[in-house]
Amino acid sequence: MNYDNADLVAKLHTMSELLSDVKKAVALRAQESDLALTEQVITESVQLGQQLNQRRKELEIDLATLELQTGVSASTLKRLFKDPDQVKFGTVLSVADALGVKLCAAV
């Protein structure tokens, strides 16, 4: 293929514009992700219990089924949903995993 300098410059300019558009889209997506994470920040343990219980309800899983899936008694599940401080952290992790909830720590 034979290109003259004008064609190459035009193609490079087009590619530069496309790259700029991609960079803007990536930056926007990163901002949206940061915002979504900020909205899900839990500042009190009670919020975690409420979110886990909400997730259970969204999945239409009753306490008896969750008890069978996790090996955690229904009474402990109720305590966890009301106040996670009342149960072992391993129990919280087990229930979160069963509900498909990913817990992460940000420092």
Instruction: Confirm whether 79 is domain-assigned.
Output: yes
Q: Are residues 16 and 57 in the same domain?
A: no
Instruction: Confirm whether 21 is domain-assigned.
Output: yes
Cα–Cα distance, 22 to 30 (Å, whole number): 12
> Positive or negative, the Cα torsion across 44, 48, 49, 55?
positive
Helix (H) or strand (E) segment spanning residue 43: none
Q: Are residues 27 and 63 in the same domain?
A: no
CATH number at 88 reads 1.10.260.40
The three-class DSSP label of residue 20 is helix
Nearest CA among 84, 88, 85 for reference residue 52: 84
* pLDDT tens digit at each of 107 positions of the chain: 566 888 888 889 999 999 898 998 888 888 776 665 555 678 888 999 999 999 999 999 999 999 999 999 999 999 999 999 999 999 999 999 999 998 887 66
